[in-house]
Amino acid sequence: MIEVKDIRKSFDGHEVLKGISATFEAGKTNLIIGQSGSGKTVMLKTLLGIHQPDSGTISFDGRIYSELSKEEKREIRTEIGMVFQGSALFDSMTVEENVGFPLRMFTNQTKAQMKERVDFVLQRVNLVNAHHKMPSEISGGMQKRVAIARAIVNNPKYLFCDEPNSGLDPNTAMLMDELIQEITQEYNITTVINTHDMNSVMQIGDKIVFLKNGLKAWEGTKDEIFKTDNEAIVEFVYSSDLFRKVRDAVRKEHNL
């Protein structure tokens, strides 16, 4: 579990995060959503430690990050997996080498142990025959699965995903959502996803934090979105005719 309390962050006198508090739960897909400029990217980078908050606290399973020693902070960083928006695979490395990179960097495993672990996670993300292919030789969806395999190869407690469905067709994006949710539940990972994909919100939004103008404007689940009358979240999520019709149909069915 990751808990943030009253996080504030400014750049050049402009306050981007304005006292945000939220809890991201283990075993659930926790989504951060919001329009461009809402602060969601800064929020994700602050959770990752790329940005240091001006005030407030971030705790990882009760460990307040700002109060830890360098060694303790380093330990937490080894417990984090990251799926980047563009996959961020190394072009000069094979799929197998890309996935094994965190093991080579952060563990003392033998080559045999690393190979066994890499084989396991590639099988887990349904990539059993791609070990020796280069990133340029596989599809965008496969590259995303390689990125997920690399992110989980070191058994992370915390998984961060930045727009994991960016550039994917709707069907592949849906499969990616299902894979992330399955892995999250299977290994009880605290997964935090930065997304603008409303299909992801409706499909895997176990916990949703909606940011607007640097503030937490709404918090809830994918089911509660249909019930809320919060003007900001309704305007954002149901901006299209299709989603408005879905919402109206659900509310009518449940007499909301």
Given a cut of 90, whether residue 196 has pLDDT beyond it is no
- pLDDT reported for residue 240: 64
Note the pLDDT of residue 185. 96
How does the average pLDDT of the chain come out, rounded? 91
Domain 1-79+156-221 maps to which CATH number in 3.40.50.10800, 3.20.20.60, 3.40.50.1010, 3.40.50.300? 3.40.50.300
Distance separating alpha carbons of residues 223 and 110, to the nearest angstrom? 46
> Mean per-residue pLDDT for 80-84?
93
Bridge partners of 194, per DSSP, are 32, 162
Measured distance CA(149)–CA(126) in Å, rounded: 10
What is the per-residue pLDDT across 22-55, written as a single tens digit (0 to 9) for each?
999 999 999 999 988 899 999 999 999 999 999 9
Predicted local distance difference test score (pLDDT) of residue 244:
66
Q: According to CATH, where is 3.40.50.300 located in the chain? A: 1-79+156-221
Q: What is the pLDDT of residue 86?
A: 82
As a whole-number percent, the residues of the chain with pLDDT over 90 amount to: 75
Whether 252 shows a pLDDT value over 80: the answer reads: no
C-alpha 256/C-alpha 249 separation (Å) is: 10
**Quick one: pLDDT band at residue 117, thresholds 50, 70, 90?**
very high
pLDDT for residue 15? 96
Q: Is the pLDDT assigned to residue 128 strictly greater than 90?
A: no
Across the range 137-149, mean pLDDT stands at 94
Q: Evaluate whether 146 touches 134 at the Cβ level (below 8 Å).
A: no
More confident residue, 253 or 234: 234
What local confidence, expressed as pLDDT, does residue 241 receive?
A: 66
| Strand order across the beta sheet in which 207-212 lies | 80-83, 158-162, 190-194, 29-33, 207-212, 215-220
Tell me what the mean pLDDT of segment 67-72 comes to: 94
Predicted local confidence at residue 256, as pLDDT: 62
